[in-house]
Amino acid sequence: MSKCKKVYFANENSAKFYIEKLNKTSLRKVKPVRAYLCEKCLNWHLTSIVSEENRQLIYKDRQIANLKAKIQHLENEIQRLTNKHKKGLSDKAMKVFTAAC
């Protein structure tokens, strides 16, 4: 096995622990987001590149958040129109009541 020149960890847990530590303490803009097992040296390395699987999850999460925002907007619009309709009905009822008296 050829040794990599990258920082390596003996196991995945150690690598993930270090990622957590870096995310809490590092001021770097780009930080590692996941660990991967290297085929060359059979040790664990860190990368800031999001896996395709994670990229898809992030995309789906954004889609869900956008849909939730649209639902909230539509619920607010329904409420506004319902209140407007109720107010219109109560104004008409008041006119009818006043005219009857």
User: In the chain, which stretches have pLDDT less than 70?
Assistant: 1-2, 89, 91-101
Q: Which pLDDT tens digit goes with each residue over 31-44?
A: 999 999 999 999 99
DSSP 33-48: -EEEE-TTTSSEEEES
**Which residues touch 56 (CB under 8 Å, ≥6 apart)?**
none
Token pair, residue 76, equals 């607010």
Give residue limits of the domains in the chain: 1-49, 52-101
Model pTM score: 0.49
